[in-house]
Structure 1
Amino acid sequence: MDDPELLRYSRQIMLPGVGVEGQQRLQEAHAVIMGLGGLGSPVAAYLAAAGVGRLTLVDPDHVEVTNLQRQILHTDADIGRDKVESAARRLAAMNPNCRVETRAERLDVDAMTTLFAKADVVLDGTDNFASRGAINRAAVASGTPLVSGAVIRFEGQLTTFDYRDPEAACYHCLYGEGGGDEDTCAANGVLASLPGVIGSLQATEALKLLIGLPTLSGRLLIVDATNMQFREIRLRRDPDCPVCGQRPA
């Protein structure tokens, strides 16, 4: 790192457990962000600002006016643009040292598996069970750690599935086939700031994982914004899981 970069990240470098070595790990890391909406916006912003060297943004959707209440990377001027294009422009302005690549398409599991195999961490910011299930299958197949967040109404959830650990549970162990299309923010609503809370925590998990610090792996964090309560439950791998059950122990 040169002197301007050392100065930019100085408040992070001074932290115990980070240092220049940890910052160098971030600079050399590649993170894939699936979805550039309410969760993906703060995820991408904080990873870029923190110095992650390469981000791949994946989202097939365009910016709509209903997104602007919570998807903070986008503005009125971006309505109609690809979300990945809008996000990439903002991230480039935030930190020109961050290499940003975009995929404005819906990837199948095979394409995601190939992409994830080249990454150090995947962050799921999608808003439906079908997408989350597909992302999980690809992450399990590639062995890439997955930081998963979800929000709806006044509720949020967060965990890290670290598939480098053969005993780690996967998303399917926790949720099975999940719910239907009605379990989305579009159908149920969401408090504007809540995706920012969970997305920021997702970014925190990813930064810690890339640096080599402990994460939420093996635990699920549940946030009740109505009563401002945080609680967690332990996760255990299902040996009969059809997605991860065949991984060697």
Structure 2
Amino acid sequence: MNSDLSRTRLLLGDDATERLCATRVIVFGVGGVGSWCVEALVRSGVRHITIVDPDRVCPSNINRQLMATTSTVGKPKVEVLRDRLLDISPEAEVDARFMAFSADTATDFNLNDYDYVVDAIDSIADKMLLIRTACRSKATLLSSMGAARKLDPSRIKVTEFWKVEGCPLARKLRQEFKRQGDKPARKFRCVYSDELLPNQGTSDEARANGSMLHITGIFGFTLASQIINDVFKEAKGEDRE
């Protein structure tokens, strides 16, 4: 193992670090949450990662998204992020897919090829489809609930989807799953916050919600931590919670 993981090995041990290097992760959505999750995973040793996002960097992304700078505006997010990840870990396998996960593209992804699926997308319909699809696969699903309109990082938590409280996005998803009569096939963990603030300013972007890096980043880091801790527990022979 390379020296860039020396501090990781000191904390996790060789076995867990090797397992982390072999873990395969796909992250859907690399915006304010997903971009930081991906960075944390690669810096922690994950060497097989697929990133999926259909968007290009725009000026409003600069306040919270890892790869968004004045020089990257207009470029595909996944391509900018891939280049950064390979600069961090040249031996990593980074599959950057400049596309959306939707009903039209779902068959392009075999989620059984991965150990973990990270859901950090915003579209209700696409998010529901991804959750259902991932819950039918052998991969472990981790999902981000709404990270906008929040300021207090101490309110960020992790729990099982049906136990999430105080999150409008989780509530909407549960209502839709029940209304459609097609609930996810198994339980899965979510990162969420029960804080909800009104938007204080004005925006030219229709339906835009205010959001800030110190919240979206912690959402992303917390998603990454779930994978890292799972692998660490497995290396020690412990059950996941």
CA contact (8 A) 1:62 1:82 kept: yes
CA contact (8 A) 2:37 2:224 kept: yes
Paired residues in the alignment total 198
How big is each residue's C-alpha offset from its partner over 1:54-102, in whole Å with a ceiling of 9 and x where there is no partner?
1100001111111111002222111111110011011111221221001
CA distance in 1, matches of 2:22, 2:159: 21
Provide closer, same or farther for how the CA distance between residues 194 and 112 of structure 1 changes in structure 2, counting only shifts above 3 A.
farther
TM-score (norm 1): 0.70
| Residues 10-159 of structure 1 mapped to structure 2, 5 A cutoff | 10-15=6-11, 18-108=12-102, 111=106, 114-150=109-145, 151-154=147-150, 159=158
C-alpha displacement of 1:158: 5.3
C-alpha displacement of 1:173: 11
In proportion to residue count, which structure has more helix?
A: 2
TM-score (norm 2): 0.72
What amino acid is the match of 2:39?
Answer: A
C-alpha displacement of 1:172: 9.2
SS state of the match for residue 96, structure 1?
A: coil
C-alpha displacement of 1:115: 2.6
Provide closer, same or farther for how the CA distance between residues 127 and 107 of structure 1 changes in structure 2, counting only shifts above 3 A.
closer
What amino acid is the match of 2:121?
Answer: T
Q: For structure 2, which runs of at least 5 residues remain unmatched after alignment?
A: 162-169, 178-205
What amino acid is the match of 2:223?
Answer: Q
RMSD of aligned Cα (Å): 3.0
CA distance in 1, matches of 2:173, 2:144: 13
Q: What is aligned with 1:234?
A: none
What amino acid is the match of 2:46?
Answer: V
| Residues 209-228 of structure 1 mapped to structure 2, 5 A cutoff | 209-212=230-233
CA distance in 2, matches of 1:64, 1:161: 33
